[in-house]
Amino acid sequence: GETAFSHANKLQTIELDENNYTFSVVDGCLIKNANATLLKATNNAIIPDFVKSIEQAAFAALEDIAEVSIPSGVIEVPTYFAVGCYNLDKVTLPAALEVINTQAFYKCTKLCTSVGGVLVIPDSVTTIRSNAFAQCDALTDVTLPKNLVTMGSGSNFQDCRSLKTIRFRNSTMAA
């Protein structure tokens, strides 16, 4: 299922039988070959450029992951994407990203530490769902995309204890 490997906090290696053609392991990522979907990542994962979608909770609770670059073909960050990745600092979001789902970066307490706590969400994003960035303690400054139409009903930046500035660049956003 979607969360079959959730809370595998120390996961370093995924191995497959050499006769398995349904899945592959590339750069620490378990990939479903038929649709180029990332199912689960390890603490040393680098998402391959050919990945088109990411399964719910693919990076959830990985304790040692510090950096994630989401490939340009991915248009949606899934629910619980990196929930509880306490050491996740650098995240590169693709320019064509459209949706950041519920609790995608929830409890990523060190998110954006190396860039002074500044998060700029790509202008292509139209939807940010509930609690997407809640409890990201290191965030100090957030710039919301100019094409943002919808933000979830929950508190997207709840308990971001260092957050000082939120820039709204779109005056047409629905509540």
- What is the mean pLDDT of each successive set of 10 residues along the chain, which is 175 residues long? 60 86 95 96 96 96 95 98 96 97 96 93 96 96 92 87 88 53
Please give the DSSP secondary-structure letter assigned to residue 124: T
Confidence at residue 12, expressed as pLDDT on a 0 to 100 scale:
78
Task: Please give the distance of CA 145 from its chain centroid, rounded to a whole number.
Answer: 16
Nearest CA-CA partner of 166 in 121, 126, 112, 99: 121
Q: CA-to-CA distance for 131 and 128, rounded, in angstroms?
A: 9
Model-wide pTM > 0.75:
yes
Confidence at residue 85, expressed as pLDDT on a 0 to 100 scale:
96
Q: Which two tokens stand for residue 6?
A: 């959730």
E-state strands within 95-164 = 99-100, 118-120, 127-128, 141-143, 150-151
Sign of the Cα torsion 31, 32, 33, 35 reads: negative
- Single-letter amino acid, residue 32: K
Confidence at residue 3, expressed as pLDDT on a 0 to 100 scale:
55
Half-sphere exposure (Cβ direction) of 70: Cα atoms closer than 13 Å: 28
For residue 154, count other CB atoms closer than 10 A to its CB: 13
Three-state secondary-structure class, residue 67: strand
- Single-letter amino acid, residue 79: T
